[in-house]
């Protein structure tokens, strides 16, 4: 089986995980922290807004069943990429919109999709597109948080 990684930040990671877990071709997901400088951050560290990390979702997917382009489409359609460091009631750099690419091909696809979205948007798309760095899995109680509580959405 062919496997690839995709990593997205789109606000609170609980809802993002529930969304992507429902997509055929997504093999597994885990929530965590990436894009910052602090090693092995905790949730409390990240919430301090001092680590530089974003709450993010790492997705393992089968590209023969769901393409990276399809995952990006879902990413764009399910958060507001024009809000700087905020999604819904959540505010801070840890809630920024970001695509963490794992290859030059993903970078190119992400940049093209952002340009296409921007051409149709009335506001500036602030989503960062940056090279994936170390992904620190969040604490166990954050993994599948909504599923464990019988919920599908945060708000």
* Residues known to be catalytic: 12
Rg (CA), the chain: 15
Query: What DSSP string describes 72-110?
Result: HHHHHHTS-TTSTTEETTEESGGG-EEEEESSHHHHHHH
Q: How far apart are CA 58 and CA 53, in angstroms?
A: 14
- In the block, which residue shows the tokens 């979205």? 117
């Amino acid at each position: 089986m062919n496997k690839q990684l995709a990593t997205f930040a789109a606000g609170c990671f609980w809802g993002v995980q529930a969304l992507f877990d429902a997509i055929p071709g997504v093999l597994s997901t885990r929530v965590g922290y990436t894009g910052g400088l602090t090693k092995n951050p905790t949730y409390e560290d990240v919430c301090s807004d001092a680590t530089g990390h974003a709450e993010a979702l790492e997705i393992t997917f089968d590209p023969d069943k769901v393409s990276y382009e399809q995952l990006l489409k879902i990413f764009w359609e399910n958060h507001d990429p024009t809000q700087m460091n905020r999604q819904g009631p959540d505010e801070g750099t840890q809630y920024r919109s970001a695509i963490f690419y794992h290859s030059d091909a993903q970078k190119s696809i992400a940049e093209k999709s952002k340009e296409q979205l921007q051409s149709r948007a009335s506001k500036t798309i602030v989503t960062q597109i940056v090279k994936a760095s170390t992904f620190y899995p969040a604490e166990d109680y954050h993994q599948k948080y909504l599923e464990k509580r019988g919920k599908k959405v945060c708000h």
